[in-house]
């Protein structure tokens, strides 16, 4: 049975901690310049309807480090739902590749790809969710603080796809998440309802308010994102007015804990949602979280692509002698 990563909500807490353990191991091996080709001969298709720096580069580099290959499909290359149906695209790709990463405007596109593909589908960003980003963020906080339970995170800005995934991530990992956004820009209502229900089991707390100072007060982490996400550019002027007062500035940092960590999923619009002083200042861990996208996504790829496809005929499978690599297994070519 194949598995997809569409939402953090679909993961068990134990699965997330396993990702983090594997990511830490792979990160250490990379720092030590030790090869770790855990996916030899595997191929990953990258379907991108939106432009990307971090998501594209980190998935491509991840596959190279893991001994596989990534094939990038730009918006003009495939045009799922226009040039051909999502169903046909998914079924064709499944005959050629071992996994698919999709970055789409419409979340339903990712869900339909997962429904019709016989290989794992990973949500590389949709209009609703950005699970890989937030898994990388959570790993970064685990790495920096040694824990996630009880951390207070102030998310300042738009209740967008990153914010939605933060709701699920906080609920899973026992975090106190306070989202401060202008009225009318709250996270998706259904996501909030489901995250709040799950938070009861993990002793997490999730709040949505409209006061950035209150969200920042006593926060261990201040998180922000652009005020105008991709696809919403026609609303930029209105959003610039509505989000006044929601900038992560030094004044807001000073309300938080003395050792507060500042995060941003990038790209940043400097001088809008965050100041240069804060983004480049001593509290910023923004580049660390960007780097960790690579390591966490490697862990995801190894977990989802590293097993034999059950539907593959036995006579077509290749079995290699194996050597131990800590808790994981490295095939010997």
Q: What is the rounded distance in angstroms from the CA atom of residue 266 to the CA atom of residue 284?
A: 13
Go through the chain and tell me how many residues it has: 333
Cα–Cα nearest to 166, from 129, 201, 198: 129
Q: Which of 176, 239, 264, 293 is catalytic?
A: 293
Structure tokens at 51: 């432009």
| Contact in structure between 278 and 262 (CB atoms under 8 Å) | yes
Active-site residue, selected from the candidate residues 36, 56, 65, 130: 130
Respond yes or no: is residue 293 known to be catalytic: yes
From 4, 265, 283, 289, active-site residue: 265
Kindly state the DSSP code that residue 244 receives in the 8-state scheme.
T
> Among residues 190, 159, 144, which one has the least CA distance to residue 285?
144
Q: How far apart are CA 137 and CA 291, in angstroms?
A: 10
Comparing CA positions, the residue from 291, 327, 289, 20 lying closest to residue 148 is: 20
Q: Active site residue: 133, 142, 247, 289, which one?
A: 133
Q: Which of 9, 56, 103, 152 is catalytic?
A: 103
Instruction: Give residues with Cβ within 8 angstroms of 216, minimum separation 6.
Output: 154, 156, 180, 222, 252, 253, 255, 256
Rounded Cα–Cα distance for residues 112 and 161 (Å): 18
In 3D, which of 96, 105, 94, 133 has the Cα closest to residue 5?
A: 133
Q: Is 130 a catalytic residue?
A: yes
Cα separation, 45 vs 94, in Å, equals 10
Q: What are phi and psi of 316, to 5 degrees?
A: -100, 0
CB 103 within 8 A of CB 50: yes
For residue 40, the tally of other CB atoms under 10 A from its CB is 14
Interhelix angle 286-305/54-65, rounded to 10 degrees, is 50
Catalytic residue among 225, 247, 264, 289: 225
Residues tagged active-site: 103, 130, 133, 225, 265, 293
């Amino acid at each position: 049975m194949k598995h997809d990563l569409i939402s953090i909500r679909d993961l068990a807490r134990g699965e997330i901690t396993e990702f983090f353990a594997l990511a830490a191991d792979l990160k250490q091996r990379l720092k030590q310049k030790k090869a770790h080709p855990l996916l030899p001969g595997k191929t990953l298709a990258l379907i991108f309807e939106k432009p990307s720096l971090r998501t594209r580069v980190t998935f491509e580099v991840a596959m190279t480090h893991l001994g596989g290959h990534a094939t990038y499909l730009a918006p003009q290359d495939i045009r799922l739902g226009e040039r051909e149906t999502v169903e046909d695209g998914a079924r064709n790709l499944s005959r050629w590749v071992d996994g698919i990463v999709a970055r789409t405007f419409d979340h339903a596109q990712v869900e339909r790809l997962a429904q019709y593909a016989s290989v794992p589908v990973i949500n590389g960003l949709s209009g609703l969710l950005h699970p890989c980003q937030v898994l990388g963020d959570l790993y970064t906080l685990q790495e920096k603080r040694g824990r996630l339970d009880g951390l207070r995170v102030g998310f300042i800005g738009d209740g967008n796809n990153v914010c939605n995934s933060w709701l699920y991530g906080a609920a899973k990992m026992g975090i106190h998440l306070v989202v401060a956004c202008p009225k009318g820009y709250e996270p998706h209502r259904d996501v909030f309802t489901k995250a709040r229900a799950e938070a009861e089991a993990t002793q997490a707390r999730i709040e949505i308010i409209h006061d950035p100072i209150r969200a920042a007060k006593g926060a261990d982490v201040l998180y922000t994102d652009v005020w105008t996400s991709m696809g919403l550019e026609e609303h930029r002027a209105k959003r610039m007015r509505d989000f006044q007062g929601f900038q992560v500035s030094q004044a807001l940092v000073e309300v938080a804990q003395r050792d507060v960590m500042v995060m941003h999923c990038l790209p940043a619009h400097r001088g809008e949602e965050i100041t240069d002083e804060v983004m480049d200042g001593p509290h910023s861990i923004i580049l660390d979280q960007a780097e960790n996208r690579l390591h966490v996504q490697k862990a995801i790829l190894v977990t989802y692509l590293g097993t034999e496809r059950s539907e593959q005929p036995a006579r077509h499978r290749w079995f290699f002698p194996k050597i131990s690599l800590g808790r994981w297994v490295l095939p010997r070519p």
